[in-house]
Amino acid sequence: MHLQNTGASSNRTVIITGASSGLGAGMARGFAARGYNLGLCARRVERLQELKDELVMRYGVQVEIRVLDVNQHNDVFSVFRDFHGTFGHLDRIIVNAGIGEGRRVGSGHFELNKRLAETNFIAALAQCEAAMEIFRAQNAGHLVTISSMSAMRGLPKHLTVYAATKAGLAHLTEGLRAELLGTPIKVSTIYPGYIRTELNAGAAKLPFEVTEEKGSELLVKAIERERAESYVPGWPWWPLGLLMKVLPLGWVAKA
């Protein structure tokens, strides 16, 4: 027995990277509730299997899982092509996999910062390359990248490299969108604000934070609109994003 899904998207497929926990798993639940079939990939196969069992039981959708470390770039192409072969058509690919642990530049943590940059930008580039290869062949699809509100400005201390990677990803996405304007291929950048997940579970209360469940729900709604850019939650992050771009750097540094 399974619960009836709430949408009419049973023939549509969404691929989500970094889907074993946090916002990736939350988005998977949201899209399954709307009737999408899912291709989920991450490093932790046990968690993926648990999530697959949950979604199939609750919503009756098709869920395929693959082990993927996005820093193994050849594997990104292989897994995306495998999903395409399994489903026959991919409607949406969400570049979600990423990490958030950075250190001050020049504090002796180059290897950690390099890993952050490689995971959040180079591996994201590999995912965009693999996704666009499929979408160009289909002449259809929706590429979604999960950036961050930190992409609005350069940020100090442990956020410097993280913000730079998310800004780079946002610019990469916008460049693709500029190329594909007026075509059947849609490209969206999502800028989440503070969403409480297991990755930041030990942090102090964050400004305007929302729960993982609420954040995932808002992400799915924003992605479904297929807008060029979306701030999540829209309030207060949309106006704050505009302010962040024009405030004096000293103010941003103290935020």
Residue 92 lies in a domain: yes
Count the domains in the chain. 1
Say if CB 5 and CB 32 are below 8 A apart: yes
Tell me whether residue 162 is one of the annotated catalytic residues: yes
pLDDT tens-place string over residues 109-153: 999 999 999 999 999 999 999 999 999 999 999 999 999 999 999
| Cα–Cα distance for residue pair 42/119, rounded to 1 Å | 13
Instruction: Give per-residue pLDDT as tens, 30-69.
Output: 999 999 999 999 999 999 999 999 999 999 999 999 999 9
Instruction: Confirm whether 35 is domain-assigned.
Output: yes
What does each C-alpha distance from 95 to 122, 125, 153, 197 come to in angstroms?
12, 9, 21, 18
> Is 2 among the domain residues?
no
**Nearest partner of 175 among 221, 134, 220, 125, judged by Cα:** 125
- How many other β-carbons are positioned within 10 Å of the β-carbon of residue 95? 28
pTM for the structure as a whole: 0.93
Confidence band for 254, pLDDT divided at 50, 70 and 90: confident
Residue 90 has pLDDT above 50, yes or no: yes
Q: Which of 162, 191, 194, 231 is catalytic?
A: 162
Contact 14/223 with Cβ under 8 angstroms?
A: no
CB 144 within 8 A of CB 94: yes
Please check whether residue 121 lies inside any domain of the structure. Answer: yes
3 within some domain: no
CATH number reported for the structural domain that contains residue 152 in this entry: 3.40.50.720
Range of lowest pLDDT (72-76, 94-98, 115-119, 209-213): 209-213
